[in-house]
Amino acid sequence: MAGEVVEKGATLADVAQRAGVSPSTVSRTLRGLSTVSPQTRVRVEQAARELSFAISRSASSLVTGRTGRVAVLVPNLDSWFLGAALSGLAPALTAAGLDMLVYSVTTAEQRAQFFDRLPARRNADALLVVSFALSPEERARLDDLGMPLVFVSQHQEGRAGVYVNDAEAAQRGTRYLLNLGHRRIAYLEPADASGFAWSSRDRLDGYRTALAEAGIDPDEDLVREVAHWQGPNLDAAVGRLLSLAEPPTAIFAETDDIAFRLLAILRGVNVPVPQGMSILGFDGHGMAEAWGLSTLAQPARRLGEAAAELAHGLIHDPEAYRERHVVLPVELVPRGSTGPAPLPGRGDAGDPVRQDRA
């Protein structure tokens, strides 16, 4: 075979022919399986080097029935939290010998198409559903996949998942504002015109629970949906809150992205933070410290890493990992955007806030 000219793009069959073995033996050898004799392994590896051949995922799947890929379903790619979670997920999957295939479903039409066609069934060994709540019909479709599922940043009974306790964390955050003397606490939650329901909706439940514990009657005028954390919709929501007969003295934003925009809006209308309005966020955004934002910090990167570990475990031992849950902690990080509630009539800019109020 010396002097033979080999065309570019050698195939698994080319390696098998040169090594004098079957294609399946080549696949087992290059995947490092122990069912190949040492002599055969040397022959196959030498042939692969001579042909500059590397086994593909597709060829590997013919032998194992696995693709070596994990599919990740996300509602978008433009939020800090999702980016941080994926930045933890990707290297952890790579370390486990798995590739990541991302499906970004940003519109109602794309969402309907995904659940109608279920492309992940053909292209991956497991599916990670990240950060948006599923309808009962969508959940049933995923149950029909017959592939391992991991729910990330949300809790689903009977399915593997990694998440934080959003309701409990928001309850603690609201209590923190109550302990600072605030009784009129607004809540801003993201909404989407396409009908997406975010898994972080549980945070609103925690906010309401804490108010009820404090004996404060719910005031739905203080709960506002904002279609986007940027743009005039949020400005209008802040305007409505400030124009109430009893405006809030604190705002709990469901995400840090919303909280950052709030800080800019309040600065623009000369409402001092925290003397005139306290702002609390949720996520632990990488820029929260630089902005002086008080926030409930969740370990976004660790969520991704733990999801990769769960996916790897499910692929290799479905029964042991099918209902395993990993609950990660959320830390309250107080900074300069929160402070004691202003005394009645003392909330205007420049007035000091007394600590010894009745």
What are the pLDDT digits (tens) for 148-203? 889 999 888 888 999 999 999 999 999 999 999 999 999 998 876 554 556 678 89
Please state the pTM of the whole predicted model. Answer: 0.77
Are 278 and 339 in contact by the 8 Å Cβ rule? The answer is yes
Amino acid at 178: L
Are 158 and 196 in contact by the 8 Å Cβ rule? The answer is no
d(CA 25, CA 29): 6
Amino acid at 312: H
Per residue in 238-276, pLDDT tens?
999 999 999 999 999 999 999 999 999 999 999 999 999
DSSP 140-151: HHHHTT-S-EEE
For 290, the 3-state DSSP assignment is: helix
Structural domains in the chain, CATH included, are: 12-64 (1.10.260.40), 69-164+300-328 (3.40.50.2300), 166-298 (3.40.50.2300)
Q: Which phi and psi angles does 110 have, rounded to 5°?
A: -65, -40
Q: CA separation (Å) from 61 to 16, 28, 58, 94?
A: 17, 11, 5, 17
Strand order in the sheet with 294-297: 223-226, 185-190, 250-253, 278-283, 294-297, 331-333
Per residue in 317-354, pLDDT tens?
888 787 889 999 999 999 999 999 998 765 444 444 43
Question: Average pLDDT, stretch 38-44?
Answer: 89
d(CA 123, CA 68): 9
Distance of CA 46 to the CA centre of its chain: 44
Average pLDDT, the chain: 84
Q: Output the pLDDT for position 339.
A: 98
- Tell me which of 285 and 141 has the higher pLDDT: 285
Q: Is the dihedral angle over the CA atoms 139, 141, 146, 151 positive or is it negative?
A: negative
